[in-house]
Structure 1
Amino acid sequence: MKIVVVGGGAGGLELATKLGNKLGKKQTADILLIDKNQTHLWKPLLHEVASGTMDSEIDAVSYRAHAHNHGFRFKIGTLSGINREEKYIHLQPVVDDEGEEILPERKESYDILVLAIGSISNDFGVQGIREHAIFLDSPKQAIRFQHKLVNQFIRINRRLEQEPDTSLSVAIVGGGATGVELSAELFNARHWFSLYGLKNVTSEHLKVTLVEAGPRLLPALSERIAGSVHQELLELGLDIRTNTQVSRAEAGKLHTADGKIIEADLIVWAAGVKAPDFLKDFGGLETNRINQIVVNTHLQPAQDESIYVIGDCAGRQIDEKRWVPPRAQSAHQMASLVYHNILLSLAGKPQKDFKYQDHGSLVSLSRYTAIGNLMGNLTRGSMNIEGKLARMAYVSLYRMHQLALHGWTKMILMTLSEKINKVIRPRLKLH
């Protein structure tokens, strides 16, 4: 029995780890994880990598080492196609940064296939966004933004000696969690840049514009919580523009539908996600309007019982209007269900149905505060929280992910290691 998991994000890596511990170590099944990257980083932390307040080289999980420790195999590769009749997938050639081939195009057979390939930014066809904005889909893109941010701060610090009115302008499009959290992290980063030698740069020299097409920030949260976040960001110094739709982008500029221009040294697009475009016509499987593969209650496409789909690329309707949201908690719940369903299927028993449980939403405003609500089986009903309690709850989400991957002992040691690193290492990545 060969079980192939494609995609090492939150859901894919958790699932491969559980299957490896349960089946792989006993050699009951061959568990293979495939991902286009060599390391894993929890996607909700990418805004911290982008600002430099987190070093991805320290916090990333090596797929190969993790596979060795948990009874599964890892191969690097990018999914490009599938043959469902003969049960194999196509993988693109692997090339290095210079375009030299490392591995050729390959086929990989499977008995059970789990697709967990995540999502990409949805530019909604806005002209110039792909060319002039930075997306935060992956650690590589977050690191690219961080390098640009460091260089811009150094440039501005030098120019301020001659031009006191100079400032660094950053425009972030998208008032969801990613846009809001990155906005706050940028002000935290500016604080540390100033302490680490860029003395000319003060809060007035960083101008962050947060652009949201809808009437308010954080539409997934209640109006009261969104209002609290809005006020906190205003106090930090953000220029928040709601009901503002971007019509096109060019170098250093965003054009809005009402004819205004937003100038920016750096542009970040965080206005929505979709599943990768190649899934539109992937082996005849049904997809929805954002390319997600539509799945049944067992998280399988109706066309093929040997395939499971989890995470952001899975389309599962909650009711007539709502779909399971593309969040880390959704991927975690899906991975847990598919793990049990694979075991039940191998034992010849009926599979369980997926029921999404909304445990609430939390937004971290860097070191300043955190705000959100807890719902479902975490509390009786719904409870709004903010401040230190919310910050603790936010951090606990990452601890739960670490626990799922590493177990209690390693998770506790990692927590202690992070505490130590805050003392012995710089609080900001400076290169």
Structure 2
Amino acid sequence: MNRILKWGLAIGGGALTVESLRWAFSVTNGPSQRYEAWEKAPYREFPNKVLIVGGGFGGFTAAKKASDLTKGRDDVGVMVISRENFFTFWPMLAGAIAGGTETKNVAQPIRRGLISSGVSFRRAEMESIDHENKLVNVSGTVTGREQQIPYDHLILAMGGEPAYFGIPGVEEHCISMTGIGTAEEIRNRVIERYEQTILMRGEVPQSALTFVVIGGGATGTETAAELHSLVHDVLPPDYPNIDPDRVKIILVDSNEQILKELDPALRRAARKRLDGMQIQVINNVRAEEVTGGKVSLDDGQEIAAENVIWTAGARASLKLEDLGELPSDARKGLAVDAYCRVEGYENIWGIGDCAANINGEGEPIPPNAQAATQGGELVAKNVVAAIDGEELETFEYQALGQLVELGSQFAVNDVLGIKFSGFAASLFWRATYLYKLPIGQNRIRIAADWMLDVFFKPAATQIRDREL
């Protein structure tokens, strides 16, 4: 059966690779850059300067859309400032834990994609806003001195942070899902425990080989499944003296069932899949405290574990606390209207996880990647409309569904009301997210990763920081 599945993946992966090559080359060799380097006017010289803070799903989409809408115009300049020159393609992050997808391919390089569209980019950290003079103060220079970047319209798309809810020990002792480095940190932690176990000839406490994932949403569930793949599929050839069944993977969730956003039938399918992987699921409990050696739950249970991964909550960017003059809520983010404008400001806008976006009826919009992308499209339209004195549009969120992959051969999907699971759902998951990758060459590289994974086990390497 596994042989059939592998050949199915190979055939499907081959088709995806061919399509990705065709598509990526069409993107790479398609329309030329909007400006040649010597033709583009400096951002500061444009009469209408649109400054976007944050290069994630929302910020990147807003910049590309604003550039498209103003193509052929010389009165609108767009710049993005971001702490990193890439953004994490979150749907594929968990897959990097087992090594089936390279982390460098999950990181989407945004500088080239923006520059080729005529958008300026600066890797910098926003420190404050001078509202009176319409300036954003940023750091990140060699000298350490702050620089000032002007704006006429400011779009805040700074994303979110893990929320720890004041639970003792979570921030100190958990690995929090914060981005690219997290997948590598989790993989390195597993390999480190294996190396210690080999060195000690197996005489390590069970807590050293117990991994607790807190949070039963899509991220937590996918993380638990990828941990299983790493332990049972990738590492055994390198560590034949360690019984994979000795490793415990426990998923802790405060809800009655995992993946509460999905249809009950899909939840049951996912739970059955995890049970088959021997992943223990504990529902209806919350973490009360985390220490270096155990997790205490609010029902009195204690789990002896030295490896805890936190995926149970998120909040708006902490940077908002430095912008106290803007109306915001620590958990939900910036207070914005249905047009994505920050309340009380005509030229400051908020989207994504850092904003409490609402639709035309005042109903909250979920803080997810779909909403951030749709918000990026809308805010670009509204900024350009505001510049041109035209009517603005309200945010009408369209939920397209949810896809959750549990290992490389199984997924549970809800797409526009159509619900399906299994191997075919896994192929659909991969085809969909390969399609959605914004950078053409990354499509090729990830498709190649998946093809190679059919025939070769990913390398079980641990890159450690060492003092020279």
Correspondence for 1:359 among 386, 400, 411: 400
Change (3 A) 1:3 1:319: closer
Change (3 A) 1:385 1:214: same
**Deviation at 1:123?**
0.4
Change (3 A) 1:322 1:235: farther
Whether 1:29 and 2:60 are equivalent positions in the alignment is no
Q: Distance in 2 between matches of 1:111 and 1:133?
A: 41
Q: For residues 204-353 of structure 1, what are the structure 2 equivalents within 5 Å?
A: 204-280=245-321, 282-288=323-329, 290-317=331-358, 323-353=364-394
> Could you report, residue by residue, the CA deviation over 1:298-345 in whole angstroms, capped at 9, with x for unpaired residues?
111121121221111121245999621121111111111122223323
- State the match for 1:386 in structure 2: 421
Higher deviation after alignment, 182-191 or 75-84? 75-84
Higher deviation after alignment, 178-187 or 157-166? 157-166
> Could you report, residue by residue, the CA deviation over 1:8-31 in whole angstroms, capped at 9, with x for unpaired residues?
111211222333455478654322
**Deviation at 1:74?**
1.5
**Deviation at 1:86?**
1.8
CA contact (8 A) 1:187 1:203 kept: no
Q: For residues 12-411 of structure 1, what are the structure 2 equivalents within 5 Å?
A: 12-23=59-70, 27-93=74-140, 103-160=144-201, 168-280=209-321, 282-288=323-329, 290-317=331-358, 323-375=364-416, 382-402=417-437, 405-406=438-439
- State the match for 2:461 in structure 1: 430
Aligned-partner SS, 2:91: helix
User: Percent identity, aligned pairs only?
Assistant: 24
Unaligned runs of 5+ in 1: 95-100, 376-381
Higher deviation after alignment, 386-395 or 155-164? 155-164
Q: Distance in 1 between matches of 2:68 and 2:296?
A: 52
Aligned-partner SS, 2:164: coil
**Deviation at 1:120?**
0.8
Unaligned runs of 5+ in 2: 1-47, 463-468
Higher deviation after alignment, 315-324 or 49-58? 315-324
> Could you report, residue by residue, the CA deviation over 1:333-360 in whole angstroms, capped at 9, with x for unpaired residues?
1111122223323332212111011111
Q: Distance in 2 between matches of 1:321 and 1:338?
A: 17
CA contact (8 A) 1:25 1:71 kept: no
Q: Distance in 1 between matches of 2:292 and 2:360?
A: 42
Q: Relative contact order (C-alpha < 8 Å, sep 6+): which is higher?
A: 2
> Could you report, residue by residue, the CA deviation over 1:378-431 in whole angstroms, capped at 9, with x for unpaired residues?
xxxx221111332233224423432xx34xx76765565445554797535623
Q: Distance in 2 between matches of 1:229 and 1:152?
A: 28
CA contact (8 A) 2:235 2:460 kept: no
Larger radius of gyration: 2
Q: Distance in 1 between matches of 2:423 and 2:170?
A: 37
- State the match for 1:97 in structure 2: none
Change (3 A) 1:416 1:331: same
Q: Distance in 1 between matches of 2:207 and 2:297?
A: 24
- What's the TM-score once normalised by structure 1's chain length? 0.87
- Aligned residue identity for 1:29: V
> Could you report, residue by residue, the CA deviation over 1:68-116 in whole angstroms, capped at 9, with x for unpaired residues?
322212211222322222212222446xxxxxx6643332221111111
Aligned-partner SS, 2:51: strand
Q: Distance in 2 between matches of 1:270 and 1:163?
A: 27
Q: Distance in 2 between matches of 1:166 and 1:200?
A: 18
Change (3 A) 1:193 1:414: closer
**Deviation at 1:202?**
3.6
- Aligned residue identity for 2:419: N
Aligned-partner SS, 1:2: strand
Change (3 A) 1:24 1:249: farther
- What's the TM-score once normalised by structure 2's chain length? 0.80
Q: Distance in 2 between matches of 1:395 and 1:158?
A: 38
Q: Distance in 2 between matches of 1:195 and 1:44?
A: 27
Aligned-partner SS, 2:194: helix
Q: Distance in 1 between matches of 2:357 and 2:248?
A: 40
Q: Distance in 2 between matches of 1:331 and 1:256?
A: 33
Change (3 A) 1:165 1:282: closer
Higher deviation after alignment, 384-393 or 227-236? 384-393
CA contact (8 A) 2:193 2:208 kept: no
